[in-house]
Structures are given as C-alpha cells and as structure tokens.
Structure 1
Amino acid sequence: MTSLHQAWAALQPRLKILEPLPFSSDQWSLIERLHVSFNDREAHTHLPIPIARFRETATKKIQEHATQFDDVTTVAVDDGWFAENFGRGTPDTMAHFVRFYNDDVDEMMGVLVPPARYRKGHYSYGKFTAPQPHGLHTDHSAEDPAGAGEPICIARIETLGTHYLAGDYRAYDPETQSMIKALRYWIAVPEGEPENILHEMLKRETLKTIPVNRVMLMVAGNGSENSQVTQHIAARPPDGGLHSAFFQRQYKLT
C-alpha cells in the first residue's frame, strides 16, 4: 500500500459527516495522476469521480431541514460567513452541516490534491422549481483570469442530482457540438429543442448523472491546454418542484 493509499485509509476517524469511498484500481490510477499534477487534461476527461458519501444520519437531517422551505436559499461561503453564522448565538441548521462538509472536504483534498487551497463556495437548499433552466455551464474563476483547471467538490443531497458531459470534449462530432450549444444557451438548434436534446443526450450517455449523497471531485477554473473544465447542468425537477440541498466548494492551486 502506497503512502497515498494509507493516508486515504486513515481519513475516516477525522471526518464528521462524510465517509471516504474505496477506489478501484482504475480510479486509483486516476487519483495518483491528479495527486502528482492536477492539471492533467487526459485525466480530467475521466472526471467527475465520487470520493465520499454522506453518512445516513446527516443526509436525513439535511433533507429534513431543506423540506421546511418553499423557496430556494443560496448562501455564499465568503470571508464573513463563519463569523456571521458561528460568532454569535446558535448557527442556522444548514450552516452547521455546511461547516462539517467544508471541514471534511478540506481534509480529503489535503490528501488527494495537496496544493489545493480554498477559493470559494456556496450552498443552496429549499424547493427547487427551475422556472428558467440554468443551462450547461462550468464553474470558472473570474477573480483569477490566469487560473487554469482547479479542483471543485460538489454534492446533491437526496434528490435531483446533476448531469455532466462525459469524455473528451474535443472528440465530439459536429452534431454533438451543436446539441451542446442548445443546452448551454437553452435554444433550438437543427437537431431539435433543448428539452428533447437533454433527454436524447442522457439516452446516448453523452450526458451522465452524478449520484445524490455523494461528493464528486471535478474540474473548475478557466481552462487551459492542460485542463478540461467539467461542463454540467442541474437535473430538471418535476412539476411542482422538489426539495433538495446542494453544497459546492472550489479550490485554487498553490
């Protein structure tokens, strides 16, 4: 067992609401490449990868809290977030779990991608209705135009999930590129309307779905020759909406 494997195996007792997942031999090969140099474009074409699951008790409590709200609340985890939520009085219930998530993900990233340092994050919870679709997009780093590929960990709790483009974007044929354009801008293209294209790309598995209650490691940033930033789109809730929670934590490389 390598030192990286040993460090990963030793994480569990230090984590509060997450459980590190075991990796297959192929996944370990991918993780080891990212550990050496995160900006490895070929490795990025195999992301996202699940790295942890939420403990059942945490999942239940997070979802129970989310169901108390009929609107979506989105909170940025900025410089003042900790003081606002933990500097006085009793913290908001969701902030309590986000704090544990942040601490746990930081611990895991310290093992998997040692140069990673927190850049920004946010979380959302409540009843998701998506009256206007949020098209296919990436998580970039507007505050750092020179930033290339950066680690980001996202999680959907209990419902909805997230779809992502699979494989090497450069290898897509012109028809697929046109369909991607439809999803990015939510417009009609010669191949059809965006809603139909979404279903077709899921059927073809050009779009795959991130499982709920898992922490997924993927790529944010502004892109470069050595990176492939993950393109993703939220799953569409049914008519009437669906309660859920979403946590996101992005890192810069030092």
Structure 2
Amino acid sequence: MTSLQQAWAALKPRLKILEPLPFSSGHWSLLERLRNNFNDREAHTHLPMPIARFREAASKAIYEHAKQFDDVTTVAVDDSWRVEKFSGGAPDTMANHARLYNDDVDEMMGVLVPAARYRKGHHSYGKFTAPQPHGLHSDHSAEDPAAAGEPICIARIETLGTHYLAGDYRAYDPETQSMLKALRYWIAVPEGEPENVLDELLKRETLKTIPVNHVMLMVAGNGSEKSQVTQHIAARPPDGGSHSAFFQRQYKLT
C-alpha cells in the first residue's frame, strides 16, 4: 500500500458527512499523477471522477431541508459567511450542512492534492425551475488570471445531476465542436436546436452525467497548455421544477 493509499484509508473516521470511495488501480495511478503535478493535461482528460459519497442520513437531511423552499437560494462561502453564520447563535440548517461538507472536502484535498488551498465556493438549494440550463461552461479564476488548472469539488444532492464533457476536448471532430457551440451559447446550429443537441450528445456519451450524492473532483481555473478545465452543464429540471442542493468548493495551488 502506497503512502497515498494509507492516508486515504485513514480519512474515514475524520469525516463528518462524507465517505471516501475505494479506487481502482487505474484511478490510484491517476491520483498519484495529480498529487505530484496537478497540471497534467492528459490526466485531466480522465476527470471528473467521484472521490466520495454522502452518508445516507446526510443526503436525506439536506434534501428534506431543500424541499422546504420554492425559490433557489445561492450563498457564497467566504470569511464574511463564516462570521455571519457561526459567530454567536445557532447557524441555519443549510449553513451547517455546508460547513460539514467544506470541512470534509478540505480533509480529502489535503490528502489528494496537498498543494491545494481554498479559493472560493458556494452552495445553492431550493426548487430549481430554470426553463433552460446555464450553458456549457467551466469554472474560472477571474481573480487570478495567471492561474492554470485548479482542483474543484462539486456535489449535487438527490436530483439534477450535472452533465460534463468527457475525454480529450482537442480530439473532437468539427461536427461535435459545432454541437458544443449550441450548448455553450444555447443557440441553434446546423446540427439542430440546443435541446436536441443535448439529448444527442448524452446518447453518444460525449456528455456524461455526474452521479448525485457524490463528490466529484474536476478541474477549474483559466486553462493552459498544461491543463484541460472541465466543461459542464446543469441537467434541465422537469416541468414544474425539482428540489435539490448543490455544493461547490474550488482551490488554488500553492
């Protein structure tokens, strides 16, 4: 057992709402590469990958709380959030769930990518009803233009799993590139309307879907020759909307 595997095995008792997943030999090799040099573009083409699941009681509690709201609340997680939510008095229910998620993900990233330090994050919860998704996009680091690829962990609770672009983006043929333009800007292209393009790319598995109630390791940042920043798009809610919660935590490299 490698030192990374030993450190990962020792994590479980320290986590509050997450359970670290076991990895295949191929995933261990990938994680070793990312640990030694996170900006490994070829390794990025194999992300996202699930690294943990929510404990059943935690995902159920988060989902039940989200179901109490018919609007979506989005909360940025920064120093002022901690002061507001945790300095005197009892924090609100979702803030407490978010803090436990954040602390657990920080513990995991301390093992998987020791050079990672928290940059920014947010969480959203309530009833998602947007008729069309936020287009295909990546998570940038506008506050740090020099940043290349950076670790980011996201999770979606119970419903509306996020779709992501799989494989090496440079290898896509012109037709696929055109179809991706439809999703990026939510416009019609020669291959069809964006709704139909989305369905077709899911059928082809050019787009894959992140499993709910799991923490996914992806790539954020501004991109470079040495990185491939993960592109993703939210699943479309059904007519009438769907309750869910979403957590995101992004890191800079030191």
What residue in structure 2 maps to residue 121 of structure 1? 121
Alignment of 1:1-254 (within 5 A): 1-254=1-254
2:79 and 2:141 map into 1 onto residues whose CA distance is 17
2:88 and 2:180 map into 1 onto residues whose CA distance is 47
Q: Is the 8 A contact 2:133 2:235 kept in 1?
A: no
* Partner SS state of residue 219, structure 1: strand
**Which amino acid letter does the alignment assign opposite residue 55 of structure 1?**
R
**Which amino acid letter does the alignment assign opposite residue 160 of structure 2?**
L
Q: Is the 8 A contact 2:132 2:236 kept in 1?
A: no
1:133 and 1:251 map into 2 onto residues whose CA distance is 25
Q: What is the TM-score normalised by the length of structure 1?
A: 0.99
The CA RMSD measured in Å over matched residues stands at 0.5
Q: CA deviation at 1:213?
A: 0.3
* Partner SS state of residue 216, structure 1: strand
Q: Is the 8 A contact 2:155 2:214 kept in 1?
A: yes
* Partner SS state of residue 80, structure 1: helix
Cα distance per residue 1:183-216 (max 9 Å; x no partner): 0000000000000000000000000000000000
1:143 and 1:106 map into 2 onto residues whose CA distance is 21
**Which amino acid letter does the alignment assign opposite residue 67 of structure 1?**
K
1:133 and 1:123 map into 2 onto residues whose CA distance is 17
Q: CA deviation at 1:69?
A: 0.1
Q: What is the TM-score normalised by the length of structure 2?
A: 0.99
Corresponding pairs, count: 254
Moved over 4 A (4+): none
Gaps of 5+ in 2: none
Q: CA deviation at 1:90?
A: 1.1
Q: CA deviation at 1:132?
A: 4.0
1:175 and 1:100 map into 2 onto residues whose CA distance is 43
* Partner SS state of residue 247, structure 1: strand
* Partner SS state of residue 212, structure 1: coil
Q: CA deviation at 1:151?
A: 0.1
Q: Is the 8 A contact 2:44 2:229 kept in 1?
A: yes
Cα distance per residue 1:100-150 (max 9 Å; x no partner): 000000000000000000000000000001134210000000000000000
**Which amino acid letter does the alignment assign opposite residue 181 of structure 2?**
K
Gaps of 5+ in 1: none
Percent of residue pairs identical: 86
